[in-house]
Amino acid sequence: MTAPRLSSAPQTPIGRIPVLDVTPRVDEGRLPAKSVVHEPFTVTARVFREGHDAVNASVAITDPDGRTAYVPMRSTNVGLSLWEAQIAADREGLWSYRVEGWSDPYGTWHHDAVIKVEAGVDVELMLEEGALVLERALAEVERSPEQQQVLREAVVALRDTSRPLPDRLYAGAGDAVAREITARPLRDHVSPSPEQSWLVERQLALAGAWYEIFPRSEGAYQDADGTWHTGTLRTAAERLPAIRDMGFDVVYLTPIHPIGRTNRKGPNNTLTAGPLDPGSPYAIGSEAGGHDAIEPSLGTFEDFDAFVARSRELGLEVALDIALQCSPDHPWVTEHPEWFTTRADGTIAYAENPPKKYQDIYPLNFDNDPAGIYQAVRDVIQVWIDHGVTLFRVDNPHTKPVEFWQWLIADVAKTHPEIIWLAEAFTKPAMMHTLGKIGFQQSYTYYAWRNEKWELEEYVTELAGDAAAYMRPSFWPTTHDILTPYMQYGGPAAWKVRAALAATLVPTYGIYAGYELMEHVARPGAEEQIDNEKYQLKDRGWADYAPGGPKAGQSLDGYLRTLNQIRHWHPSLRLLRNITFHHCEDENIIVFSKTARTPDGHDDTVIVVANLDPHSTRESWIHLDMPALGLGYGDGFVAHDEMTQQSWHWGPDNFVRLGRDAEPAHIIHVRRF
């Protein structure tokens, strides 16, 4: 009886030189990997071949104009066939890369010739084969006359029997030829991996410092009789110099659209609002308009344009909150009732996040008329782009279809590739990661709730690993929705250390206005501030904290300014994938370093040591991985604390003291002797 034949499944040809497991590769190449201009990252692959001939690999990089350059890879583990190379792009646009494995005739000859010639085996044959390989390299690979001369001289020397044998061998196998062949190799059986698309964006997509304000609170004040007067876009613009003086790059505005009256929320999320209560800016839409309009009490588009112009004058970019939801008074509710969910009793469903209820908000239902909603939102985005907005912070994007965001971000990028999208997606990891993959440049994270050393190390290692190819984290110690128990009860040390960690662990971080004042009192039963700006106006009395004011010296504005100055001084802090964690004997003290190559060719290395216990001063020993700092274990260096301007001599093992009666964090610039 004949055994049945098994039909083979369709296969992709593996190539003469197998190239496998290329990283970064996002969703098997279906979506682009990401970087920003001049951001280095590592491409890895497994490259091997049969037998004993030499194998080699290169990364082929294709720029937006279709020009291809090659970066040599190096073998990092011969036994596991692992290769890697670091690449970076010098301008924005859609690039691509692939790994090419190839047979290396020169490498094969070099290996065999050194062994055989030194052993006196087939000496003249090996030297002639070397000459032939170099003649192929001259004939098949384009070189300048000077580059050709290096190989021509080697060919002559290899065949010159009047020279000593070691000299002939070194002429072909020495450093000069090796450098030239490495730069412009002779490659046989070139086998490329599939192409990986690579989106290169502007640097603010990776690294920036955001400052959030409610415009209506900037300039708000209360009369003696308790009557509140709202701030406006014009008064908010008066706050811009202080924001820029603290070193921030982006001023982020919560929604500035008309606010509905129906079911308007009162102070502290109460269900009944008084006649003068301003309501939540997230309950968007009234008779004055919807998402493409401005709340009349804030001003006009002329006022908004003036705000943007002043921001740009100060070097700030403007981010606007996009919350795709409507108050019951939004024009869309009457013009397009099909865009919402109708319940069995005929009423429109309001938003809920049990146990939270948002009776003043109707969510959009994208399934009823996707084409209509898509176009309406696209039109809204264009309005704000036309008025100078360059970044959008998107409220709850995980409650809208992923395919909608993919379409919207891509469509905007066709004409405005400079636009940056930040996802406020405190949700399941799969959704957060997918939003990054399909277009969001940045994402909020779980940072606010990661307080223990092991949590931070594990989480940041994840974010700086494979995920860094598509999702860039933005660390916020607090937001208008978040005030964790750590911040409520940790005192000034907590507010300092969480800002320092946010500003140094990752390249983008954000501060919510009032952080300088350590506003730490929570609404009972909630992890958010009491008297929250979402529901009422707030006068922080900034002038009182200015020099000469009654509260001068009680603000953290100087601390934030120093953090942002340090970030500006050190390019290593503006990268994500370059972090190394070091050991401390105290589980409450975290130690990490970052290194980057400066434009002038020097290494910029920063070490951060932070006490995570805001209630105690702690003393301990830290143990540094010196090679990760570019140093040997016998080396020392000057440890210059950028926060205090103190300096010490450090080596592999160092004593630290941090906490309430000292600074809670060192930010150390490694200065080599």
Q: What is d(CA 627, CA 637) in angstroms, rounded to the nearest whole number?
A: 13
Measured distance CA(269)–CA(230) in Å, rounded: 19
Please give the structure tokens belonging to residue 575. Answer: 């990268």
Contact yes or no for 251/278 (Cβ under 8 A): no
The answer to whether 62 touches 96, Cβ cutoff 8 Å, is yes
Which of 424, 516, 557, 586 is labelled catalytic?
A: 424
How far apart (Å, rounded) are the C-alpha atoms in residues 417 and 95? Answer: 14
Compute φ and ψ for 665, nearest 5 degrees: -145, 140
Question: Rounded to whole angstroms, how far apart are CA atoms 504 and 409?
Answer: 29
Q: From edge to edge, which strands make up the β-sheet containing 82-87?
A: 19-23, 41-47, 82-87, 74-77
> Pick the catalytic residue: 129, 218, 360, 395?
395
**Three-state SS annotation for 441-466:** CEEECCHHHCCCHHHHHHHHHHHHCH
Indicate if 53 belongs to the active site.
no
How does DSSP assign 24-40, residue by residue? S-BGGGTB-EEEETT--
Q: How far apart are CA 179 and CA 101, in angstroms?
A: 19
SS3 state of residue 403: helix
Residue 261 backbone class (left: φ over 0; alpha: ψ -120 to 50; beta: rest): alpha
Q: Is 452 a catalytic residue?
A: no
Q: What tokens appear for 269 in the block?
A: 């999320």
CA distance 623 to 626: 9
Structure-token pair, residue 617: 């001063």
Separation CA 653–CA 644 (nearest Å): 21
Q: How far apart are CA 448 and CA 485, in angstroms?
A: 10
Sort 274 into a burial class: Cβ within 10 Å, 0-12 / 13-18 / 19+.
Answer: exposed
176 conformational bin, left if phi > 0, alpha if psi -120 to 50, beta if neither: alpha
Would you say 471 and 443 are in contact if contact means Cβ atoms under 8 Å apart?
yes
Residue 104: phi and psi, rounded to 5, are -110, 90
Residues 6+ apart with CB under 8 A from 41: 24, 35, 86, 87, 88, 468, 469, 577
How far lies 602's CA from each of 117, 599, 606, in Å? 41, 7, 13
Q: Catalytic residue numbers?
A: 395, 424
